Amino acid sequence: MNHLTLNEYVARLSDVLNSINLLNWDASTGMPDAASRRRGLQVATLNTLAQQLLLSADFAAALAHDKKQPGLTLQQRNAHRALDEAIVWHKKIPAELMATQAHLTSVAEVVWREARAKNDFAAFKPYLEKIVELKRRVADAVGYENHPYEALMHEYEPGLKLPALQGLFEQLQSRLIPLARAVHAAPKPDNHFLFRHYPEAQQRQLSTHLATRIGYDFTRGKLDTTTHPFEISMSRDDVRITTRFNPHFINAGLFGTLHEAGHGMYEQNVDPALSDTALTLDLTGLYAVAGASFGLHESQSRLWENRIGRSLTFWQHHFSLLQSTFPGVLEDIDVGQFYRAINRSEPSAIRVEADELTYDFHIMLRVELEIGLIDGSVRVDDLPGLWSEKLQHYLGIPAPDDSHGVLQDIHWSKGMMGSFPTYTLGNVMGAQFMATALQSSPDIQKAINRADYQPLREWLTAQIYQHGRTFQPGELLQRVTGSALDAGPYLGYLEQKYRALYPSV
């Protein structure tokens, strides 16, 4: 490895991490279940190689040499900062711990899929117990300020502290709980027609068309189906999205596709000059992703899914296409009925199918349980019962079973404890970005009103996407909106929307 430049070393690291992404995409979309053990070993090997490369003496020498070069740009300085921080982080974590985690989670994901299908938490429990123990070891190794959960959150949202997160949750609860209770006590819009028969082939056709309309580039991407939808990239020219189609519920595949397309557009619109650099890699999590943080990524998926895809303006332009895609299915329904139906709020056990008003309660539930698992106040054995109790507390319903409760999310099987807060952060930041976009450029709303989404996408690209990981999440938020994290725009948006949808509230 001698005599390589820093750029060449980082490009090699990028190749390894993107290869892991490709293996993980395959594992979730087409790999035979019998291959899970071997795939786990393959991913573990590549994770170990990535960590070894990052921590090698040759890499350190190349980084030190590059820092001495004259006229360094902001991007180069920030890349050096990211590399320095990652090296310090990974030096604290034993390589065997990283390899064990990579292998365990690859196998655990397959076990989780089977357990979820069979409503069998007991089958997944021993794997989850091992994952929790490994995450505790990671937290202890890297250290934290207030609580070990902060060490896990840092992998997904650098700089986020538990008191700040809990304060945000309290702010949201103070206004969303009374609003949700009032809405749920009001007469509900009819939504029975969302559960009619929608053949998968036509759903795919519609979802592909609408994802293209908002700006996802299928010449550099593709749409697959999987158990738990996700987006993953191997480069800005290979950004893949997944969804799941339910032939008796149009929302799942349609809005799942728009959500993942929002993620995909972030990755597709990073500055090409940043490809294969430290500014398109999550060096802490050893994951190839250009988005500045998971929360920022989620801000874009939620923005495109909800602020655009669930808006009345969107469907005033596209409802006729929906009707023609499913002949005879919606001929008795008008666009106003459809808009009210897709935004109907009611308690639901399933996070990914939750409406905007109740979604954050699902996140609070998971975060509270994760905090307990990591500090030892919650046992894995107790999760099914506690899950149902918290669902009852927040939404007034119990979990119908473990498949629709504690087993519904893929995250724990992949070792992604600490990532759930980023969904609510994404909701909050997305509202801040949207408010800023509309205030700074009134033409954006005019374009949206005529089904032209390019001005909004170009604004988001200029302000967010093109920068990759050049800025820390808090830096980027402040740079774009002039504000730190602020729930005000998000709460105002939800209150205005749901009071209009439910006039008696």
> What Å distances lie between residue 376 and 94, 121, 132, 133, 162, CA to CA?
22, 20, 10, 10, 16
* C-beta separation of 310 from 255 below 8 A: yes
What crossing angle do the helices spanning 473-481 and 294-302 adopt, rounded to 10°? Answer: 40
The residues with which 238 forms a beta bridge, in sequence order, are: 235
Catalytic residue among 150, 155, 260, 356: 260
* Nearby residues of 202 by Cβ (< 8 Å), 6 or more positions away: 325, 326
**Following DSSP, what letter does each residue of 178-200 receive, concatenated?**
HHHHHHHHSPPPP-GGGGS---H
Nearest of 152, 417, 423 to residue 298 by alpha carbon:
423
Question: How far, in Å, CA of 418 to CA of 219, rounded?
Answer: 34
Question: How far, in Å, CA of 38 to CA of 483, rounded?
Answer: 47
**Known active-site residue 260:** yes
The residues with which 282 forms a beta bridge, in sequence order, are: 287
Pairing of strands 231-235, 221-225: unpaired
Question: How far, in Å, CA of 176 to CA of 124, rounded?
Answer: 34
Q: Which amino acid type is present at position 303? A: L
* C-beta separation of 195 from 353 below 8 A: no
Read off the tokens for 143: 């250290």
Read off the tokens for 394: 């927040």
The gap from C-alpha 423 to its chain's centroid, in whole angstroms, comes to: 6
Among left, alpha and beta (phi > 0; psi -120 to 50; other), residue 356 is alpha
Read off the tokens for 338: 């459809």
The residues with which 249 forms a beta bridge, in sequence order, are: 246
Read off the tokens for 393: 């507390």
Catalytic residues: 260
